[in-house]
Amino acid sequence: MFARLVRESFIRNPRRKLLTAAALMVGMAVATATLTVALEVGDRLAREFRNLGANLIVTPESDTLPVEIGGVDYRPVDEGAYLREDDLGKLKMIFWRHNILGFTPFLDVPSQIVPADGAKPVSVTLIGTWYEHPVPVPDGTRFVTGAKATHPWWNVRGRWFHEGANEVLVGDALARTYPGGLSIGQTIDFEPLEPKVATGGLVKLRSLTITGIVSTGGAEDEAVIAPLSVAQELSGHPGQFRQLFVSALTKPADALSERDPATMTPAEHDRWFCSPYISLIAYEINQVLPDTDVHAIRQVADTEGRVLNRVGALLWIVTLAALIAAALAVAATSATTILERRGEIGIMKAIGAANATVAGIFLAEQLMLAVVGGLLGFALGLGLARALGVSIFGSLAEPRLVLLPVILAIAILVAVFGSLVPLRRAAHFDPAPILRGE
Amino acid sequence: MFGRLLWKLVRGSRGRLTVAMVGLISGAAVISALLNLQLDIESKLTKEFRSLGANVVIAPRSAAQTTDAGSATPILFSEGVLLNEIKLRAGDSVTAAAPFLYIVARATGAPVVVAGTNLESLAKLQPAWKLDGQWSANGAAGAPSCVVGRNVASHVHAPLRSSLSLGYEGRAQTCTVTGVLDTGGPEDNQVFLDLAAVQRFADLPGGVSLVQLNVSGSAGDISAAVSRLHSAFPDFDVHPIRQVTEAEGELLNRIRLLIAATIVLILVLTSLCVLATMAALAMERREDVGLMKALGGSISRVVGFFLAEVGILGAVGGLLGCLAGLVLSRWMGERVFSAAISPRWQVFPLTIGLMIVVALAGALPLRLLGRVKPAVILRGE
């Protein structure tokens, strides 16, 4: 009898059911989409932030004070400590290795360009670095990294040098101001400013072909950028470099990450060790590269942490608003359909139905609608989240099936609660005036 | 007559109208709060991004490197003229500007970069830098105060409150360390002193190596400011720090799009919710429509009543909702940005207009009902 009543109600008046189901579907679709985006957005934005470049810098611990102005180190090449290139593969062996997105070693060599026509040499800083360098990792794989990953804003007209080739990039300010100008395809001779140190007294020229003009908006615009191996040979420091820039995906700093690991309780220490805080990644790098000083680049790390926290909080609030709006929409339509069916309720009560039976029938209907609407809404919402992901981040948001039970639960909750108030009112209906049509 | 009938209508169905009103107010509150948020988000986020530090540099046009290894000769231009000009030309978008004069001095025998700058401006320019101590000691007589990078502090043993002596071309200068700076950048290896003190110390009166600016606003605002500065200082090289400006523009865009997309979704949803409530209200008015028609009211007049009723409902609900939305957006601002979101007047007409339109759209089924024969409705069928 109960089942037949419910079934009949669906067959008799599909329009009303359709309205409630549609409201549920739209509401749950929006809830699914915003929840999916909110869950995903931290990770996506963190990756976007890596466009800012490196957030960690590694320097030798026993270094003398660098004399660096505008990104160029004016220390003589024989001064200060160096780091070993061979060790870099170990960076991909730390616990949070997948969070290391890239790293690039730098070696600045004060040198001069010796014009072929015997004119006065022009002093210039030769920066040795990697562009796309395969780094052997101790586990047998190779990790390709370099300036492409850590300095994505470097803009090259022409093409980058090939690793290890006798090629060079020229900063665009230097290319403009160099007497006679410098252009792609030209070959220029370099010599280190202190040939005594580098080559044991012999003046050794190194001919490099220009493959591109680089524009960075920084000090590199007035320098030349060469493969690291070339810079190492020129300076007489094979296999060594001065600075390492590391770009790592990190969790925004909070109260825990700012504390000294030594003062944490074991439980806190575990939690600290299981979150990719920038301080933890710095600590791990320091473990595999001993005698180094690993430091977070504050401007980048701080801004990233703060903006990520803010956008995350914002999205959660907006998602909450979406959920509330969805709940209101569904409750409103549920209430409407019940009010519309007052006549029916009157008849049921007139022929002796208890309030509980009436409520049971309506709730069963709402429950079925909630499940159907929730399922359809979830599917629709996944599509919506996908579209949002593509248009905003250029990549798909992963569908999260975990959300399905959550969405279904919300749909049921909203549909049932939305009909509770009108049902309570229906319980007070006097059948007689309703049947009279008043 | 019209007014009296309207008043009776409203009073006669207080219960249902309250339900509709609650729906309208909550809808309008959510919509106005989110619109407010959307309008304010760019300025709020750009403010966050300012902790990235300087994004525009003005430097003299230099020939290829004129420096020798081991010593950097500052390239000079007069400070007074330039800073005033910058403020005049670039206007409000420049939130901080600091001149820098770099020299390589010696501290206990080792070369160290000494930067002369305005310490107060520097603190504003680089809010992310962590300083242990103070930027400047007020009213300190005798030796000027200086701030040292953390590497300098450890290498030349210049801890907080100690006295640091610097030598440059036979001249000597002592300063009291009032702060130790942690930046993670090359500034960790520098000593920061007041610009005038460094100019005297280096015997370069009025000399400045470069000026760093913090220009707020979108990528477009920054490039506009850069081109304004360009034309104002044809002899200087004005360039944005691309690392900062490009990434910032890109990120801002994405975040804005993200919030905008979510807000549009919620707008649609909230409008639907209000529409449903209003449609329910309209449906319940069927009998009144029938009665009025039976008494000889023309359909346009009858429908006019209800449209006026819903319209007023929408306007009042929208207005109250906007006020509630103000409180809501203030709370959101405090919660997310720890700063209140400034209310925008555009939000009011927008939200109220939207609410009226939605309410009227909800009443549209009434028109169709108007065609129904009064007798049928009055019979209660």
Question: A53-77 pLDDT, tens per residue?
Answer: 888 989 887 667 777 776 667 776 6
In which residue are the tokens 């803010």 written? A310
Give the confidence band of A2 by pLDDT, cuts at 50, 70, 90: confident
Task: State whether B269 and A37 contact (CB < 8 Å).
Answer: no
- A81 pLDDT more than 70: yes
Residues 63-92 of B with CB under 8 A from A: 63-65, 67-72
Interface of B with A in 6-45 (CB under 8 A): 19, 23, 26-27, 30, 33-34, 37, 41, 44-45
Instruction: Check residue B63 and give its pLDDT.
Output: 42
Tell me which residue in A37, A174, A223 faces B262 most closely, judged by beta carbons: A37
In a mutagenesis test of the A interface, which of B17, B52, B65, B132 is the best target, namely the one with the most A β-carbons within 10 Å? Answer: B65
Tell me the shortest Cα–Cα distance from A83 to chain B, in angstroms.
Answer: 18
Portion 134-153 of A in contact with B at CB < 8 A: 151, 153
- In chain A, residues with a C-beta closer than 8 Å to the C-beta of B72 are 67, 69, 74
CB of A53 within 8 Å of any CB in chain B?
yes
- Segment A366-391 mean pLDDT: 88
Cβ(A18)–Cβ(A325) below 8 Å: no
Residues of chain B neighbouring A69 (CB-CB closer than 8 A): 72, 102, 104, 113, 186
Element at A121 (helix H, strand E): none
Most B CBs within 10 A among A176, A295, A318, hence the mutation to make, goes to A318
Task: Please report the pLDDT score of residue B66 as a whole number.
Answer: 39
CA distance B355 to B361: 10
Q: Per this entry, what is the length of chain B?
A: 381
- The whole-number pLDDT of residue A265 equals 84
Interchain pair A65, B19: CB under 8 A: no
Residue A284 has pLDDT above 50, yes or no: yes
Taking an 8 Å cut-off on Cβ atoms, the answer to whether B189 and A23 are in contact is: no
Residue contact A48–B254, C-beta within 8 A: yes
Whether B128 sits inside 8 A of A298 (CB atoms) is yes
Nearest chain A Cα distance for residue B6, angstroms: 21
CA distance B139 to chain A (A): 30
**pLDDT of A287 above 60:** yes
Chain A residue closest in CA terms to B152: A65
Enumerate the residues of chain B whose CB falls inside 8 A of the CB of residue A70: 102, 210
pTM of the model: 0.76
What sign has the CA pseudo-torsion B215, B219, B223, B228? negative
A&B contacts, CB < 8 Å? 246
Q: Tell me, what amino acid is at A48? A: E
* Mean pLDDT, residues A208-226 taken together: 88
Is residue A16 within 8 Å of A419, Cβ to Cβ?
A: no
Q: What is the pLDDT along chain B (381 residues), one digit of tens a residue?
A: 667 777 776 666 666 677 677 777 888 888 888 888 888 887 778 777 877 888 888 887 654 333 433 344 555 566 666 666 777 666 677 888 888 888 888 887 788 889 988 888 888 888 888 888 888 766 555 678 889 988 888 888 888 888 888 888 888 888 888 889 888 888 888 899 888 888 888 888 877 888 888 887 777 778 888 888 888 777 778 888 877 777 777 777 888 888 788 778 777 777 776 777 677 677 667 677 777 777 777 777 777 777 888 888 888 888 998 998 888 888 888 887 777 777 888 888 888 888 888 878 877 766 666 666 666 666 655
CB contact under 8 A, A34 and B265: yes
> Is A41 at the interface with chain B, CB within 8 A?
yes
**The two structure tokens encoding residue B273:** 């919710």
Query: How many angstroms separate the CA of residue B80 from the nearest CA in chain A?
Result: 22
Using a CB–CB cutoff of 8 Å, tell me whether A427 touches chain B.
Answer: no
CA A190, CA A193: separation in Å to the nearest integer?
Answer: 9
Q: What is the 8-class DSSP label of residue B68? A: B
C-alpha of B64 from chain center: 39
Per-residue model confidence (pLDDT) at position B141 = 59
d(CA A2, nearest CA chain B) in Å: 26
Output phi, psi for A104, to 5 deg: -140, 125
Residue A104 has pLDDT above 90, yes or no: yes
pLDDT, average across residues A235-259? 84
pLDDT at B371: 63
Give the pLDDT mean for A361-377. Answer: 88
Q: Name residues 291-350 of chain B within 8 A of A (Cβ).
A: 332, 335-337
What whole-number distance in Å separates Cα of residue B257 and Cα of residue B252? 8
The pLDDT-based confidence of A145 (bands split at 50, 70, 90) is very high
Q: Does A8 score more than 60 pLDDT?
A: yes
Residue in chain A lying closest to B23 (CA)? A328
Alpha helices of A172-223 — where are they, by DSSP H? 172-177, 195-199
Q: Which residue of B has its CA nearest to A309?
A: B336
Interface test with A, best of B36, B57, B244, B262 (most A CBs within 10 A): B262
How many whole angstroms separate alpha carbon B72 and alpha carbon A74?
8
Token readout for B138 is 């007020």
Say yes or no for a CB contact (<8 Å) between B48 and A66.
no
pLDDT at A129 over 90: yes
Interface test with A, best of B30, B38, B75, B189 (most A CBs within 10 A): B189
CA A140 to chain B, closest CA, distance in angstroms equals 33
Is the CB of A313 less than 8 angstroms away from the CB of B237?
no
Q: Is B182 on the interface with A (CB under 8 A)?
A: yes
CB contact under 8 A, A74 and B34: no
Nearest to B20 by CA among B274, B268, B271, B304: B274
Is the separation of the CB atoms in A83 and A105 below 8 Å?
yes
Q: Is the dihedral of CA B80, B84, B89, B95 positive or negative?
A: positive
pLDDT band at A247 (very low <50, low <70, confident <90, very high): very high
Residues in chain A with CB shorter than 8 Å from the CB of B240 are 217
**Amino acid in the structure at residue A86:** D
Nearest chain B Cα to A330, which residue?
A: B273
pLDDT at A200 over 70: no
pLDDT at residue number B353: 87
- Angle subtended at Cα B38 by Cα B32 and Cα B41, rounded to the nearest 5 degrees: 135
CA nearest B245: which of B96, B55, B52, B95?
B55
Residue B14 or A141, more confident = A141
Q: In chain B, which among 113-142 make CB contacts under 8 A with chain A? A: 113, 126, 128-130
Residues 306-335 of A with CB under 8 A from B: 306-307, 310-311, 313-315, 317-319, 321-322, 324-326, 328-329, 332-333, 335
Residue A279 clears pLDDT 90, i.e. is over it: no
Kindly state the average pLDDT of the residues A222-231: 91
The whole-angstrom separation of Cα B276 and Cα B77 is 69
CB of B241 within 8 A of CB of B213? Answer: no
